[in-house]
Amino acid sequence: MNNDGKLNICIFIGGCSVEHEISLISGLQAILNLDKSLYKPFVVYLSKDNEFIYLKDLNTTNYFKEGHHLNKKTNCYFIRKNNNTYLVYKRKHYKIDICFPVVHGKGVEDGNLSGYINLLKLPNVCSNVLSSSIAQDKGMCKKILKTKGIRMCKWIELTKETKQKKVDKLLNNFKFPLIIKPSTLGSSIGIEIVNNTQELNTLIDNALKYDKKVIIEEKLTNFVEYNMACFKSKGILYPSLVEEVKTTSNYLTFNDKYASGGLKETSKENRTIPAPIDESLLNEITNYTKNIYNILNFSGVIRIDYLYDLDSNKLYFNEVNTIPGSLAFYLYKDYSFKELLNILIKEAILNFNKEKELINSFNTNILQLKDLKMKK
């Protein structure tokens, strides 16, 4: 806490991820909506090489367009001293009270940054290492949720090494069209649609350029995509409104999400909120969302994407985002973006204080044993 009685909050943006630029948009939105009467933001930009760069006076996308975020003269780092964590910038030390990673994609959202925050011994507004890593890995996430009865489209996971064996199995058991997804990416990057056997191998190879593992699913042809966000506060889950996502493509593309300066994800032109669905489907989406949040032990706000097959009237889990674009603030009608951020920050501090109550050391020092022998 600084001299004004405000909490110093470190907001991480960027990072070594193919969704790097999307993070800059989400991060800027969070910074602009942060309650400055309660929090003083310290914005740390992770370059694509994961250099830590302190950003001052960030208030518009022009800051990025003009390249101010790439000024390596503003590099910073963190130290632990006297049970406190400090951001060090130009030899000045700024005590940090809490961290807020607003990052997307493999390399940052997948638990890497959460692990670093753990080492800094600071509260983290978003999910922990394990929950984040599971959610980022679509194959692992599907395997776990399938055991809990969560319905999903027929799928298979393969790598470069298992490709031929899995393709043979796939051709005997799956129906075209298929959809191929890099297992640990997001924002629809690297997705391919396969319509026949002839193009299957080529498109798998294309997807494997982005990731070591790919997911192949039977693609629904007559469906609607629905999304719901959720956060937890004081033990109570708060699901959002359901949104119906609109696209003229075979799937929701990167352009559908982020055209027009990266802000199209929050616009009304490609979505309907609340979705025009009946109470039965609303309840099913809500129950799935709450169950998944608890099963994977999430923290902060998450967004889960679903597919609804209009032919069979069945709901399918698609994927989960632990740090959704724009933090999914637009899905909540009862909270402003500022209020949502306040709730998430307070919950992170509460969780951190509970964690500190746990025993994390053992009262015996093995190094003091007299007969301690080392093998060569």
CATH of the domain at 195: 3.30.1490.20
Q: What is the model's pLDDT at position 18?
A: 82
Question: Three-state SS for 337?
Answer: helix
Rounded distance between C-alpha atoms, residue 334 and residue 241, angstroms: 10
Buried b (16+ CB within 10 A) or exposed e, 87-116: bbbeeeebebbbbbbbbbbbbbbbbbbbeb
Instruction: Report how far residue 149's alpha carbon sits from residue 317's, in angstroms, rounded to the nearest whole number.
Output: 11
Tell me which residue of 82, 73, 76, 1 sits closest to 39, measured CA to CA: 1
* DSSP 3-state of 30: helix
- Domain of residue 42, CATH code: 3.40.50.20
Q: Is residue 364 part of a domain?
A: no
- Choose the final residue of a domain: 184, 218, 252: 218
86 and 165 part of one domain: no
**Full DSSP string of 243-280:** EEE--SSSS--HHHHHTTTTTGGGSSTTEESS----HH
Residue 349: give its domain's CATH number.
Answer: 3.30.470.20
Residue 143 lies in a domain: no
pLDDT of residue 364: 66
Residue 142 lies inside a defined structural domain of this protein: no
- In terms of domains, do 231 and 283 share one? yes
Query: Is 365 part of a structural domain of the chain?
Result: no
- Specify the pLDDT at position 258: 45
Please state the domain count of the chain.
Answer: 3
Does any domain span residue 277? Answer: yes
Say whether both 230 and 339 belong to one domain. Answer: yes
Tell me, yes or no, whether 61 lies in a domain. yes
Alpha-carbon torsion angle 220, 221, 226, 231, nearest 10: 20
Place of tokens 């007299």: 370
Residue numbers of the domain that contains 277: 223-356
Specify whether 21 is located in the same domain as 98.
yes
**pLDDT value at position 325?**
92
- 162 and 75 fall within a common domain: no
The predicted structure's pLDDT at residue 143: 97
Q: In what order do the strands lie in the sheet with 271-272?
A: 271-272, 236-245, 223-233, 302-309, 314-321
Same domain (yes/no): 352, 258: yes
User: Token pair of 111, please?
Assistant: 């638990």
Residues 28 and 64 in one domain: yes
* 75 within a domain of the structure (yes/no): yes
Query: Given this model, what pLDDT does residue 369 score?
Result: 66
Q: Within this chain, do residues 59 and 169 fall inside the same structural domain, yes or no?
A: no
Same domain as 119, residue 12 = yes
Positions of the chain with pLDDT lower than 50, given as ranges: 254, 257-264
**Residue 350 sits in the same domain as residue 228:** yes
Integer angstrom CA distances of residue 299 from 89, 171, 302, 346, 357: 30, 39, 8, 12, 18
**Pair 118, 124: CB distance under 8 Å:** yes
pLDDT score at 268: 64
Sheet holding 84-89, edge to edge: 77-81, 84-89, 92-95
User: Closest Cα partner for 180 from 230, 226, 219, 151?
Assistant: 219
- 295 and 254: one domain? yes
Domain boundary among 218, 241, 261: 218
- Same domain (yes/no): 26, 65: yes
In a domain, 132, yes or no: no
- The three-class DSSP label of residue 108 is coil
